[in-house]
Amino acid sequence: MAVAYPFSAIVAQDEMKTALLIAAVDQDVGGVLVFGDRGTGKSTAIRALAALMPKVPMVAGCPYNRDPAEKAENCPHCSQHPQDDSKIRKAAMPVVDLPLGATEDRVIGTLDLEKALRQGEKAFEPGLLARAHRGFLYIDEVNLLEDHIVDALLDVAASGENVVEREGLSVRHPARFVLVGSGNPEEGELRPQLLDRFGMSVDVRTPTDLKTRISIVQLRDEFERDREAFVKKWQRKDGAVRRKVEAARSRIDDVDVPDDVLEHAAKLCMHLGTDGLRGELTLIRASRALTSLEGRDAVSLVELKRVAPSVLRHRLRRDPLDESGSGARIERALDEVFA
Amino acid sequence: MSSDGEARWNDAVQAACLLAVDPMGLGGVALKARPGPVRDAWLEELRALLAEETPFRKIPQTVSEARLLGGLDLAATLKAGSPVSQTGLLSECDGGYAMLAMAERCERSTAAHLCQALDRGEIRVEREGLSAQAPAHVAIIALDESADDDEHLDAALSERLAFHLDLHTVGIRDLIADAYSVDTVNRARHSATDVHCDVDALSRLVSAAAVFGVDSPRASLFAVAAARAAAALEGRVQVEEADLEIATRLVIAPRATRIPMLEDEEQEAAPPPPEEQPEQEPEQDSDIQQQGEGMQDRLIEAAEAALPAGLLAQLAQGGVSRRSQRSGKSGQMRKAKSRGRPMGTIAGDPRSGSRLSPVATLRAAAPWQPLRQRDQPGDHPGMLIRRDDFRVVRFRERSESTTVFVVDASGSSALNRLAEAKGAVELLLADCYIRRDQVAMVAFRGDDAELLLPPTRSLVRAKRNLQALPGGGGTPLTSAIETAAALADQLKRRGSTPAVVFLTDGRGNIARDGSRGRDAAAEDLESAAAMFREAGVSGMVIDTSPRPGPSAETLAYSLDLTYLPLPHADAGQLRDAVRAAAP
C-alpha cells in the first residue's frame, strides 16, 4: 500500500477533520459524506484516517472481524471453528476501500476461486462488506458508483447484515460499517436514498487565504519528495490524535446530555423542517462524540452548534425560493434558535 | 505559419522535456490537437527523450474495465485449474507513459481509474473473485481531439495533468525548436528531486496561481515540480527566476480563469490570515510577499503571454465558467438495454432482451466447473453453464427526450385556438414518433390540471386522448405549472431529458386552492413559476390568445422559457417553431 499522507499534516479543512474524527469515536453517528472542489484533500484526509484508527478486540482468524462479545453463531466462520474463540487480537478498525469498478461479487462476497478450482470445494470468500465490518467503508467518487452496487450497499447498510444466496452458497454475516464517501458534486448527484445513509456531510472548499495555500503546497511538496521521512516527522502528532480518539471512545458513555441541549436540538430541527427523527438523533450523538473528543463530560450548546451544519446540511428540503445554500440557512436557523 | 505557432511549439517541446524529467511528479499532458503530423512530431519528441525500455502504451478509448485494470485470465485459469490473473494496461505501463486516445470521448469510469492511478501510484482490483493491487506509476498523455465546444476532456483527469497543450494553431513549418539532449534529460532525471525550491519561490508560484484564479492546490504543486525539473535541466541546484517563469507559463497560465490586474489584485489575493496555523513556520510573512512583489509582476507577464487565445475574449464576455463544463449533463446519459455504447456487464437474464456477453459468462462459470462436474456425474464435454452465470452487456445511450405538452383547454383558450393547438400537437407527435421521443400531455381546465397522457411512445393513444379533450371552464395555470414541473422532475430522475411546451394564453384565474380570482391566482403563480425555474427545464410557451399579449410573454419570462406567439396560420408553422427550439 502506498504511504498515506499524515492526518495531522492536513492544513485547514477543520470541519471535515472533525466530522471524520467524530465518526471514528462513535460509529452510530453514521457515515460521513465529503463533497467538494477538486484538489481539496478529500480522499487524502480519509485515507489518512486509516492510520489513526483505534484498536478494537477481534477474534483471531475470523475473516468477518467478529467482536469476542458478539455471539458466535451469527458468524459463518466462528460457528464452524469454536476453537478460535479463545484467541483474541487487538486490531485497528479497518478502513476498506471500495474502488470504482469493483464488481458486485467482490463487494458482497463470492465463491472462493482458489478452493473451487484447486480442491473442487464449495466455500464462500467474504467480500469487501465483511472486511469493513466494525470499521469504515470508503467510496471515492461515490456519486459515480454503479447503481447495482449502490442497491447492494443500501440493503446491507439498512439491515447491518449481508445475505448471499447463490447456487447453493447460502451465507449471512453481520456487516455494520460506517459509510464514508467523497465526490465532486459537479459530476453527478447522489441518489436520495444513499444520501440518507450518511450521518454527516461536509462541504470542502479550496482555502482562499494565500498563506494557507502556501503551507498546503509546501507540506505536500515535502511529502512527495520523501514520503517515509515526512510520515516519520508527523508520527508523534498522528499518535496524539489516535490517543485522543481512543480516550474519547472509552469515555463517551459517561458524557452527559443535559435537557436544554436536547430541547435546542429539537427546536433546531423543527425550525429547519427536517424530516423524521434521524436528524435530531444524529445531532445529539455527534455533539456527544465531539464533547468526548474534547475531554469534557457534559454536552453544551457550543458543541451542538458546531456539529449542526455537518449533521443537517444534507437533510434540508430544497427550497426553490431561497437562493442561498443550505449552509447559510442552517447558520440563520442557529442564530434564531439560539438567540 | 505564424510566430504564435512557433511560440506554442516551443512551449510544447519544453513541456515534453520537463515531463521526461519528472513524469510522476507532473502527471502528464492534456494534448489538444488533431491527429496529424504536428501531434506525431510532439509524441516523437517525447519518445526520443525516453529510454528504449520505458513503457509507452496506447490505451484505446473503448478500453474495457477488465483490460484497463486486469482481472481473471479466463483461458489460463481454465488451463491451470487455479485462478490466474491478467495484468491490466495500467500496470503494464508502470514506470512509463500511457497514451489515452480520443480522450475527450472516454468513459467517465475510465477517467476515474486513470485519476486513481495518478493519485495513488497503484491500482486496486476487486473483480471476478480477485482482489489485488498492482503498482501503476504512470504519466498520462491524454490525446484530446475535440474540435468544438461540445466535448471536453474529463475535468477531474485534466486537473491531474500538469500541462495543457493546444497545438491547433501550430503548423508544420513551426516545428523548429531546440530540445534538450537525451543526456541532459537523463542527468536531470536523477538530480531533479535534489533541486532546492525555497519558501520564497514556492510562495511566489502559489500567489501567481491565486492571481490567475487557479484554485486547486494541485496546480501549484505541479508548478513547483515543473520549476524543479526546469532547474535540473539547466544543471542548477536551486530554482531560479527563469524556472519560475517557465512553470508559471506552462502550468498555471493555461488554467487561468481570470486576467490579473497587476497592482490591486495582489492585495486582494492576500486577505488577512483567519486563524493560526500551528503546523506552519512563521517565517514566511508579509515581508517576503512584499519583497517578491516586483518579481511577481514579471511572472505574471510571462504567463500572460501564454494565455490561451480565446480566453481573453471569453473573459471579456463575462468570464470563463469555473464550473466543470460537464455540469448539468448528468442524467442525460442513461442505461439502455440494447443500444448505445457498451459499459460493462452485469448478472442478468438474456431473455429479457439484453445481449449476452459470452466471455463474461464463461468467466463467471469457470470457477464452478470442478464442483459442477462432480455434482453431475457423467460425461460433459465443455463447460457446464447455469442460469446464475449469465452476464449481459449493459449499454449507455444518449437519453431520449420527452416532450411534455401542457395544453390550456379553458374557456378563454378553447373558443379561440384549441383546435389549432390540437393540430399542432398532432403534427409534433408525428415528429416525436420519428425521433423516437416520448410524449406526455397535461391538460388544464376547470379547477385543476390533469395528466392526460403519461409519457408514452404510442401515437395512437396520444391522438385519441387529444381529440377527446373537451374545452371550457377556468384557467388553473398554477396547477398546470406544478403538474408539469413534477412530471419533468420525475422524467429527469428516470434519465430522460424533458422539454415542456405550454400552449396557453397565460391568463390564469384559478388559485392553488381552487378559488377564483386573478389576484390570488397571480400570487400562487409566482411561487409555482419559481419552483419550475429551479428545476431548470427547457421548453417554450406558445401564446394561443387571439391577439398575442403580454400575459403569456410574462409567463414565459417567469418560467425562463422561450416565448412564441402562435401565428395565425397553419399548425405546420408551429411545428417548425417547436422543432427549432427543442433541445
Query: What are the pLDDT digits (tens) for B130-139?
Result: 677 788 889 9
Mean pLDDT of chain B: 75
Of residues A9, A206, A220, nearest to B279 (C-beta) = A9
Which residues in chain A have Cβ-Cβ distances shorter than 8 Å to B125? 99
Which residues in chain B have Cβ-Cβ distances shorter than 8 Å to A213? 206, 209-210, 217, 220
Res. B286: pLDDT tops 50: no
Which residues in chain A have Cβ-Cβ distances shorter than 8 Å to B271? 208-210
Q: What pTM value is reported for the model?
A: 0.69
Res. B456: pLDDT tops 90: no
C-alpha B539/C-alpha B542 separation (Å) is 10
Res. B261: pLDDT tops 60: no
Of residues B216, B269, B326, nearest to A39 (C-beta) = B216
Residue carrying the nine cell digits 480522499: A43
For residue B148, what pLDDT is reported?
A: 59
A289 touches chain B (CB under 8 A): no
Mutation target for A interface from B82, B120, B126: give the one with most A CBs within 10 A: B126
CA dihedral B46, B49, B52, B57 (to 10 degrees): -20
For residue B270, what pLDDT is reported?
A: 40
The pLDDT of B578-583, averaged and rounded, is: 59
Q: How far is A114 from chain B (nearest CA, A)?
A: 6
**Residue B391 and residue B360 in contact, taking contact as beta carbons nearer than 8 Å:** yes
End-to-end CA, chain A: 50
For residue B383, what pLDDT is reported?
A: 76
The helix-helix angle for B3-21 and B217-233 (nearest 10°) equals 90
For residue B575, what pLDDT is reported?
A: 65
Res. B74: pLDDT tops 90: no
For residue B16, what pLDDT is reported?
A: 92
Res. A17: pLDDT tops 90: yes
Least reliable range by pLDDT among A186-195, B255-264, B553-562: B255-264
The pLDDT of B404-420, averaged and rounded, is: 75
**Considering only residues 450 to 479 of chain B, which have any Cβ-Cβ distance to chain A shorter than 8 Å?**
none
Of residues B65, B224, B277, nearest to A215 (C-beta) = B277
Q: How far is A188 from chain B (nearest CA, A)?
A: 6
Least reliable range by pLDDT among A119-128, A153-162, A315-324: A315-324
DSSP state of B89: H
Band the pLDDT of B389: cuts 50, 70, 90: confident
Which residues in chain A have Cβ-Cβ distances shorter than 8 Å to B530? 320-321
B419 or B55, higher pLDDT:
B55
For residue A239, what pLDDT is reported?
A: 92
**Secondary structure (3-state) at A325:** coil
Query: How far is CA B152 from each of CA A51, A137, B23, B157, B324, rounded to the nearest angstrom?
Result: 37, 32, 23, 11, 10
The pLDDT of B374-392, averaged and rounded, is: 75
For residue A22, what pLDDT is reported?
A: 94
Cα B338–Cα B343–Cα B344 angle in degrees, nearest 5? 100
Mutation target for B interface from A166, A189, A213, A234: give the one with most B CBs within 10 A: A213
Res. B315: pLDDT tops 60: no
Res. B332: pLDDT tops 70: no
Percent of chain B with pLDDT over 90: 7
A4 CB-near residues (< 8 Å, 6+ apart): A44, A47, A48, A50, A51, A231
**Residue B256 and residue B300 in contact, taking contact as beta carbons nearer than 8 Å:** no
User: Which residue is closest to B371 within chain A, CA to CA?
Assistant: A120
Res. B416: pLDDT tops 80: no
Give the pLDDT confidence of B463-485 residue by residue, as tens digits: 777 777 777 778 888 888 888 88
Give the pLDDT confidence of A68-105 residue by residue, as tens digits: 888 888 888 888 887 777 788 888 888 888 877 777 77
Least reliable range by pLDDT among A214-223, B10-19, B205-214: B205-214
C-alpha B541/C-alpha B114 separation (Å) is 45
For residue B252, the number of C-alpha atoms closer than 13 Å in the C-beta half-sphere is 37
For residue B263, what pLDDT is reported?
A: 43
Contact B217 A106 (CB under 8 A): no
Q: What are the phi and psi torsion angles at A254 (to 5°)? A: -90, -5
The pLDDT of A281-305, averaged and rounded, is: 93
Percent of chain B with pLDDT over 70: 73
Of residues B126, B219, B347, nearest to A128 (C-beta) = B126
For residue B227, what pLDDT is reported?
A: 93
Contact A221 B159 (CB under 8 A): no
DSSP state of A27: G
For residue B127, what pLDDT is reported?
A: 67
**Considering only residues 171 to 210 of chain A, which have any Cβ-Cβ distance to chain B shorter than 8 Å?**
184, 186-189, 206, 208-210
For residue A15, the number of C-alpha atoms closer than 13 Å in the C-beta half-sphere is 23
Band the pLDDT of B1: cuts 50, 70, 90: very low
Q: Residue B150 is placed in which grid cell?
A: 461540445
C-alpha B201/C-alpha B194 separation (Å) is 15
- Specify which of A108-112, B51-55, B465-469 reaches the highest per-range mean pLDDT: B51-55
Of residues B156, B199, B207, nearest to A210 (C-beta) = B207
C-alpha B583/C-alpha B575 separation (Å) is 14
Least reliable range by pLDDT among A36-40, B9-13, B428-432: B428-432
**Considering only residues 263 to 292 of chain B, which have any Cβ-Cβ distance to chain A shorter than 8 Å?**
269-271, 273-274, 277, 279-280, 284, 289
B301 or B385, higher pLDDT:
B385
For the beta carbon of residue B240, count every other beta carbon within 10 angstroms.
Answer: 13
Per-position b or e across B145-157, b if 16+ CB within 10 A of its CB:
beeeeeebbbbbb
Of residues B155, B277, B530, nearest to A11 (C-beta) = B277
Give the pLDDT confidence of B511-546 residue by residue, as tens digits: 777 677 777 777 788 888 888 888 778 788 877 777
- Alpha helix (H) residue ranges in B494-570: 518-535, 550-559
For the beta carbon of residue B421, count every other beta carbon within 10 angstroms.
Answer: 26
C-alpha B171/C-alpha A316 separation (Å) is 55
For residue A9, what pLDDT is reported?
A: 92
Amino acid at B141: I
Q: How far is A216 from chain B (nearest CA, A)?
A: 7
The pLDDT of B115-121, averaged and rounded, is: 85
For residue B19, what pLDDT is reported?
A: 92
Band the pLDDT of B163: cuts 50, 70, 90: very high
Which residues in chain A have Cβ-Cβ distances shorter than 8 Å to B374? 120
Contact A105 B128 (CB under 8 A): yes
Residues of A marked as catalytic:
278
Mutation target for B interface from A96, A114, A117: give the one with most B CBs within 10 A: A117
Mutation target for B interface from A17, A193, A211, A235: give the one with most B CBs within 10 A: A211
- Specify which of A142-146, A185-189, B180-184 reaches the highest per-range mean pLDDT: B180-184
Res. B124: pLDDT tops 60: yes
Least reliable range by pLDDT among A145-149, B285-289, B362-366, B560-564: B285-289
**Secondary structure (3-state) at B488:** helix
Band the pLDDT of A332: cuts 50, 70, 90: confident
For residue B285, what pLDDT is reported?
A: 40
User: Which residue is closest to B368 within chain A, CA to CA?
Assistant: A116
For the beta carbon of residue A181, count every other beta carbon within 10 angstroms.
Answer: 26
Integer-rounded Cα radius of gyration of chain A: 21
User: Which residue is closest to A9 within chain B, CA to CA?
Assistant: B279
- Alpha helix (H) residue ranges in A13-103: 14-25, 42-49
Res. B69: pLDDT tops 90: no
